[in-house]
Chain A
Amino acid sequence: MAETLKITNLHVSVEGKPILRGVNLTIRRGETHALMGPNGSGKSTLGNAVMGHPNYEVTEGTIELNGEDVLAMDASERARAGIFMAFQRPMAIPGVKMADFLRHATTNVRNPSRKEGQELIPMRQFRKELTEKMDQLRMDVEFARRYVNDGFSGGEMKRAEILQMAMLRPKFAILDETDSGLDVDAVKLASQSIAQIGREQAEGEEMGILIITHHDKLLENNVPDFTHVMLGGRIVETGGVELAQELYTEGYDRIRAAYPDAAAADAEMQQATAAV
């Protein structure tokens, strides 16, 4: 049976404010899922909660990876268990070189039981692999010497996130608006790279992918097996690729009309945000 990331009845609050109100979602390795929904509906919140951000408090529900309790793990353990998220807004870490950071990360994720201070993967092997992946993403080698996300353009940040995914070879990846901030050519390259990385994963098994997007481009090479629509902190409808096509051309009017409760919750969340 395929490895599975299973989210059941997930409720999440931020600063005591409920955002997610009972999300159910199951992703198997090899599947591609698209997650759509209006701004502020809770898509990034879902990703952050799955990745283990300490400010996103799970008040109810479960997240399991092959039956194991993900909620009991901190972010580091989740990464080592094979979960990855490409962030909508990655953090800058001034003074820390991409290469140093990635060498630590890659070592830990590939050898999850590694203790601090133990050997890192050999420099030569790491460099070779990093250069290969950077070539594929058409990134200049100089990039590895820059400080993590420090002064990166929007496009560079997104590409750096994909590079990290390529090096870490996760079982499950959440890509949060990885297409925003990229020009047409860059989106195309990103789309192809994600598909390729998805196919090339460790142990011969493909990645399970959750793509959060408002556009069609990333989905061209990563045709979703399932499309989910989030509204007011809930997944209100699930369909195939045709649902994605409907949403990025027609918008969310039909969805709002069909799910008035969720639409009301969504409006409330939007207001709370506007008030801030």
Chain B
Amino acid sequence: MATDLLENGTIGEINKYDFITPSHDVFRAARGLNANIVAQISEMKKEPGWMRDFRLRSLKIFESKPMPLWGGDIGINFQDIYYYLKPTDQQGKTWDDVPQDIKDTFDRLGIPEAEKKYLAGVKAQFESEVVYGSLQEDLGKKGVLFTDTDTALRDHPDLLREYFGKIIPPEDNKFAALNSAVWSGGSFIYVPPGVKIEFPLQAYFRINAEQMGQFERTLIIVDEGAEVHYVEGCTAPMYTTESLHSAVVEIIVKKHGRCRYTTIQNWANNIYNLVTKRAMAYEDSLMEWIDGNLGSRLTMKYPAVYMMEPGARGEILSIAFSSKGQHQDAGAKVVHCAPNTKSRIISKSISKNGGRSSYRGLCKVEKGATGCKSNVVCDALILDPQSRSDTYPYIEVEESDVQIEHEASVSRIGEEQLFYLMSRGLSEAESSSMIVSGFIEPLIKELPMEYAVEMNRLIELQMEGSVG
């Protein structure tokens, strides 16, 4: 049942459950996109003038940029979308409105009751303020700021003004420009110098969290010698009535700082997920992206690390799983702007039932960035002849004293491996599922425990019924 949901794209038909009734019109911007609508969004949010101007400038950039010619087919009519819904709009839904298929999937994934409602969009806020309240207080004492980005704009305007849009300016690409014009929600984190947060911060720890937004904007500032691990998303199929999701994530890791950003996303089959993620890493700092992508019609996502000062390191680990009607165009970018910087990319993709996965990666070494090292490994596993995998590595090196390694492999599930496992009594489905889990094991073991368990269960779900 739940497998069907994932398989046949039933999730993709959820559009017919239109929970937003016309009586709420007063709370949302009109359909489509123009300067009036953008100004209206800024006004409804009571933003300062500089943000309003930033949004309007971004809109112009969005309008002037052509659609990217690479990646996947983007079939979106931008005038057909609502760009801003006030959070209160979405509280009309009740648990009874959520389709049974979705509920079954949550059950099979073993998602706790409280989280289910949050994930299904019934609750705009995760029901655990009590639990996480003390945590918030603890963070507060250390000077850590952790809130949604809209609140941050109100409460910490100086920090926002200094860093917002500086890592990823609207000029960067069409979708970053779109996000800059209409953004809402997302997380803001500031970790003061020397503060090390021992446990992963998760999106739903946020107090006053807004509903998972379409155009989230996240900004993380890790000050000198500070450390943070942020976890976004969850493995349950993300249930949403909107088909375009375009987030921007900006991160600054200052001298000796460390930041790890983990994402696990399992989108419904109707979703276009076009994300820009970039970090700037300064002297002797470490930035790690861990990125798991499942589902969606098209995902285009290439987390980037710019190594700005000597000794900076960037690591990007990603897994993509694509099935029928899905295209994962994912990868990574590492840009070595300073000497003695190091990067590592490990990318794994799995394609089945006619799914398509592409790896698109850039490794760039700028002039003067001597003594750099970069290691890229991308492995693709294809489960049946209908599925497809491509690799597009781009390497631009302007220095000679560098060490760059690139390995790519594409394999089909080996008959010999299947036979070996089956000869020990595993069924064919168990055997291929085990081979797939083994394939992504190097990434799974980097995930926080509960995510690793969920991820494995999810892969099992995806694999069920895929053979025979």
Contacts and interface: CB of A to CB of B under 8 A. Distances in A.
A101 B425 contact: no
Interface in A82-97: 84-85, 87, 90-91, 93-96
**5 tightest A-B CB contacts, nearest first:** A95-B438, A95-B441, A108-B425, A96-B438, A105-B424
Interface of A: 51-55, 74-76, 78-80, 84-85, 87, 90-91, 93-96, 100-102, 104-106, 108-109, 112, 116, 147-148, 164, 168
A101 B421 contact: yes
B414 interface: yes
B426 to A, nearest CB: 6
Contact of A75 (B419, B429, B440): B419
Nearest to B444: A95
Nearest to A85: B423
Interface in B419-448: 419-431, 434-435, 437-442
A249 B435 CA distance: 43
A81 B358 CA distance: 42
Nearest to A55: B415
B417 interface: yes
B198 interface: no
Contacts of A104: 425-426, 430, 434
Interface in B59-80: none
B420 A87 contact: yes
A105 B420 contact: no
B424 A79 contact: yes
19 contacts: A52-B419, A53-B419, A55-B415, A74-B422, A74-B428, A76-B428, A76-B431, A87-B420, A91-B420, A95-B439, A95-B440, A95-B442, A96-B435, A105-B421, A109-B424, A109-B425, A112-B425, A116-B430, A147-B441
A96 B442 CA distance: 10
Binding site secondary structure of chain B: helix
Contacts of B417: 91, 93
B426 A108 contact: yes
A79 B439 contact: no
Interface of B: 414-417, 419-431, 434-435, 437-442, 464
A25 B146 CA distance: 73
Nearest to A83: B423
A163 B430 CA distance: 21
A172 to B, nearest CB: 13
Given A55-B415, A90-B420, A76 B425 contact: yes
Contacts of B430: 104, 108, 116
Contacts of B414: 91
Contacts of A87: 420
A89 to B, nearest CB: 9
B435 A93 contact: yes
B419 A147 contact: no
B439 A94 contact: yes
Nearest to A100: B434
Contacts of B415: 54-55
Contact of B427 (A76, A100, A148): A76
A53 B439 CA distance: 23
Contacts of B438: 93-96, 147-148
A202 B434 CA distance: 28
Nearest to B427: A76
Given A54-B415, A76-B427, A93 B440 contact: no
A87 B428 CA distance: 19
A14 B417 CA distance: 18
A254 to B, nearest CB: 35
A76 B429 CA distance: 11
A106 B424 CA distance: 8
Could you say which of B424, B429, B438 has the most chain A C-beta atoms within 10 Å of its C-beta? B424
A90 B415 CA distance: 13
A79 B423 CA distance: 6
Contacts of A85: 423
Contacts of B439: 94-95
A262 to B, nearest CB: 29
A101 B417 CA distance: 12
A147 B445 CA distance: 14
Could you say which of B416, B429, B437, B442 has the most chain A C-beta atoms within 10 Å of its C-beta? B416
Given A54-B419, A87-B420, A80 B429 contact: no
A116 B425 CA distance: 12
Nearest to B379: A94
B426 A52 contact: no
B416 A91 contact: yes
Given A96-B434, A96-B437, A51 B424 contact: no
A105 B416 contact: no
Given A54-B415, A91-B416, A101 B423 contact: no
Could you say which of A90, A94, A147 has the most chain B C-beta atoms within 10 Å of its C-beta? A94
